[in-house]
């Protein structure tokens, strides 16, 4: 760990930090092309960025398959989208902090009759206190990292057989909170004092590291995978935390944030624009290409994390075609 810390210190560049600050002020590129008749899978589509993004794609003719926790909200979304835009809006109910639900819904996606044109991994959570899932894993890691990993892994062969699809993971500049990298020996935060910012940064770093290996496995298939920071926008993330956090978020933090409309525009551009044909394994701040922090670029750790994740999730026994 000490060796890696020294390596990362040498690799940090002030120019990348200044670029991030500049990019945070930029508006996203816009795409005017339609997406008529295409199928978009999106997680966490009943509120915030996911909701606005679902409406954006529907307004451009896309059919939606939303993966949400709440059936009542999902049904409301379905009625709204179908009546307003005249497209299909199906949904599947799954708790993306529960491995059983993640595996189930992933296998249901594999068995879909129609091709999947785009997957947007948007579901997220932010916790100020460590919380374990029913599977015994730290919740932020599962929702932000393991859920997208399992889904992508199980869909690899299917997507490659289509020869054309895009995967977008909603990441975050917050990966920079894991400044000295992942602790592969403590992904569950059992050996360290828990920090909401650090656990979030670690999960987002893991997400970026997984992208390195997924991009390798998808190379030449016509399927691309990229990660984007959705901008500093107002969402409902963090509502699971205590009253002090919620007050601070509502009265202080939220007042400085932008509308999630900019995130939806960026996600539409990244999902549809011909400018992104063949572009894979990249990190975008909205639609501006950016270099992640050094720990999120470490290919050696990415491969070690890949193997550790296969063991954690039980995917080691599930073979995919290279």
Kindly report, residue by residue over 302-318, the tens digit of the pLDDT. Answer: 999 999 999 999 997 66
Tokens representing 18 are: 């200044």
Per the structure, the count of domains in the chain is: 1
CA dihedral 201, 202, 205, 211 (to 10 degrees): -130
Banded model confidence at residue 1, pLDDT cuts 50, 70, 90:
low
322 pLDDT tier (thresholds 50, 70, 90): low
Residue 319 resides in a domain: no
Q: How does strand 89-93 pair with strand 288-290?
A: unpaired
Task: Say if 195 falls within a structural domain.
Answer: yes
Give, as one character, the DSSP assignment of residue 44: S
At 281, is the secondary structure helix, strand, or coil?
coil
β-bridge pairing 63-68 and 89-93: parallel
The answer to whether residue 105 is domain-embedded is yes
Give per-residue pLDDT as tens, 120-133. Answer: 999 998 888 999 99
Alpha helices in 249-298 (DSSP H): 261-272
pLDDT value at residue 252: 39
Tell me, yes or no, whether 101 lies in a domain: yes
Do the domain assignments include residue 158? yes
Given a cut of 50, whether residue 245 has pLDDT beyond it is no
Q: Identify the CA nearest to 257 among candidates 236, 232, 237.
A: 232
List the domain range (segments joined by +) for residue 35.
2-313
Kindly provide the b/e burial profile for residues 196-205, where b requires at least 16 CB atoms within 10 angstroms of the residue's own CB. Answer: bebbbbbbbb
Q: What are 121's strand-pairing partners?
A: 169
Cα gap 40→130, rounded to integer Å: 33
pLDDT of 321 reads: 63
pLDDT at 316: 75
Average pLDDT over residues 243-257: 41
Would you name the residues annotated as active-site residues?
Answer: 200
Give pLDDT, residue 126: 84
For the cut 50, the answer to whether the pLDDT of residue 71 exceeds it is yes
Beta bridge partners of 43: 67
d(CA 124, CA 141): 10
Structure tokens at 84: 């307003």
Residue 185 located in a structural domain: yes
Residue closest to 229 by CA, chosen among 201, 274, 266, 256: 266
**Cα–Cα distance, 51 to 264 (Å, whole number):** 9
Tokens in use for 127? 């916790």
> Strand, helix or coil at 163?
coil
Does 299 score more than 90 pLDDT? Answer: yes
Q: Can you tell me the mean pLDDT for 151-163?
A: 96
Q: Find the range with the poorest average confidence among 6-15, 225-234, 293-302.
A: 225-234
What stretches of 60-187 show up as alpha helix (H) in DSSP? 71-85, 99-110, 139-141, 147-162
Lowest mean pLDDT across 1-10, 100-109, 119-128, 230-239: 230-239
Average pLDDT over residues 95-112: 97
In a domain, 197, yes or no: yes
What's this model's pTM, rounded to 2 decimal places? Answer: 0.90
CA 287 to CA 26: how far, in whole Å? 9
pLDDT class of 23 with cuts at 50, 70, 90: confident
Residue 255 has pLDDT above 70, yes or no: no
pLDDT tens profile 197-212: 899 999 999 999 999 9
- Cα separation, 131 vs 127, in Å, equals 8
User: Residue 68's domain is classified under what CATH number?
Assistant: 3.40.50.720
Lowest mean pLDDT among 147-151, 214-218, 227-231, 264-268: 227-231
Tell whether 80 is covered by a domain: yes
Q: What is the mean pLDDT of the chain?
A: 90
Could you say which DSSP state residue 319 is in?
A: -
User: What's residue 5's pLDDT?
Assistant: 84
């Amino acid at each position: 760990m000490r060796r890696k810390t020294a390596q990362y210190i040498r690799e940090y560049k002030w120019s990348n930090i200044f670029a991030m600050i500049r990019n945070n002020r930029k508006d996203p590129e816009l795409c005017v092309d339609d997406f008529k008749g295409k199928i978009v899978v999106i997680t966490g589509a009943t509120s915030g960025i996911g909701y606005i993004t679902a409406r954006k794609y529907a307004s451009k003719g896309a059919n939606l398959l939303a993966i949400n926790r709440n059936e009542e909200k999902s049904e409301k979304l379905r009625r709204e989208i179908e009546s307003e835009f005249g497209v299909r809006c199906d949904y599947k109910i799954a708790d993306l902090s529960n491995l059983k639900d993640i595996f189930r819904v992933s296998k249901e996606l594999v068995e879909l009759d129609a091709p999947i044109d785009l997957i947007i991994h948007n579901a997220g959570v932010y916790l100020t206190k460590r919380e374990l899932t029913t599977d015994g894993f730290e919740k932020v890691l599962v929702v932000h990292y393991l859920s997208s990993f399992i889904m992508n892994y199980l869909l690899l062969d299917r997507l490659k057989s289509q020869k054309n699809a895009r995967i977008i993971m909603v990441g975050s500049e917050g990966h920079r909170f894991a400044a000295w990298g992942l602790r592969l020996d403590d992904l569950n935060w059992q050996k360290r004092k828990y920090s909401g910012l650090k656990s979030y940064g670690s999960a987002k770093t893991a997400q970026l590291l997984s992208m390195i290996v997924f991009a390798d496995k998808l190379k030449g298939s016509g399927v691309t995978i990229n990660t984007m920071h959705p901008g500093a926008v107002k969402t409902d993330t963090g509502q699971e935390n205590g009253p002090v956090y919620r007050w601070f978020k509502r009265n202080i933090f939220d007042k400085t944030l932008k509308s999630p409309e900019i995130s939806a525009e960026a996600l539409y551009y990244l999902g549809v624009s011909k400018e992104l044909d063949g572009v894979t394994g990249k990190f975008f701040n909205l639609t501006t290409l950016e270099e992640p922090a050094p720990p999120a670029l470490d290919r050696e750790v990415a491969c070690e994390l890949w193997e550790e994740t296969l063991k954690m999730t039980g995917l080691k026994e599930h073979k995919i075609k290279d």
